[in-house]
Amino acid sequence: MTATGAAQKQAIRVRAYPLPTFANEGKLARVHALLGPWRDALGGMQAQLHRQILTGQPLMKRMPTKRKDLTFTTELSARQVKSVYNQTFQALNAWTGSVRNAVRELISGSGLDDDARTVLYRVNARKAWYAKELVLPILVNTATGEVRHNDGKPGNGWVKDELPVPPSLLKLSRRMAKQVGRHAVSLPDLSR
């Protein structure tokens, strides 16, 4: 390792102060032995879920936690892997919420026309930045042909229809999310 690499590692160290505890030495030893595998599992689970987001799939609230379903190896039990998943899911859910807010600001400040902006707002609200294809529900007035971007039930004179999102807007949405991820809301590193 170079001197610069060692200096960078020193710069990102997290320090903690030891506090008195009422646990016995055996219990403390078991907890210390669990921290390394737990941290490794957090990093593996984060990589797996982030890959899922990048392929255009939404975050699943429940995930199979059997060893064969994981993309990483761990010595943790299924119950512990479920706890790791819950912790990772909440962290990534908060991160995608922050990305959504930042992308909304980008859309608001853009010089796009109103129709494109509306579609981008709806793609952003679904956190579907990386979707390959997306169809949005709309309501169409049967008498006037007016289109409303609404997910609700149609009233009298309105029928449900679908609006496919153009690939150019999906690409723009992806670029906005990447820009925000690089410069405004970086992905947290759960393996530290």
pLDDT digits (tens, 9 = 90+) for 61-97: 777 667 777 888 888 888 888 899 999 999 999 999 9
Q: Would the pLDDT of 117 be above 60?
A: yes
Q: Is the pLDDT of residue 170 over 90?
A: yes
Mean local confidence (pLDDT), 149-172: 85
Is position 20 within any domain? no
Predicted confidence at residue 163, as pLDDT, reads 87
Q: What is the number of structural domains in the chain? A: 1
Confidence class of residue 8 from pLDDT cuts 50, 70 and 90?
A: low
How far apart are alpha carbons 149 and 14 in whole angstroms? 47
Q: Is residue 111 part of a domain?
A: yes
From the number of C-beta atoms within 10 Å of its C-beta (0-12, 13-18, 19+), residue 116 rates as: middle
Residue 88 placed within a domain: yes
Examine residue 19 and state whether it is found in any structural domain, yes or no.
no
192: in domain = no
Does residue 18 lie in a domain region? no
- The SS3 call for residue 15 is coil
Give the residue numbers spanning the domain of 156. 28-183
Amino acid identity for residue 67 in this structure: R
Q: What percent of the chain has pLDDT over 90?
A: 39
164 token code pair: 């496919």
Whole-number Cα distances in Å, 83 to 8, 39, 87, 89, 126 = 31, 12, 6, 10, 26
CB contact at 8 A, 134 and 140: no
Assigned domain for 138 exists: yes
Question: How many residues are listed for the chain in this entry?
Answer: 192
Is residue 73 domain-resident? yes
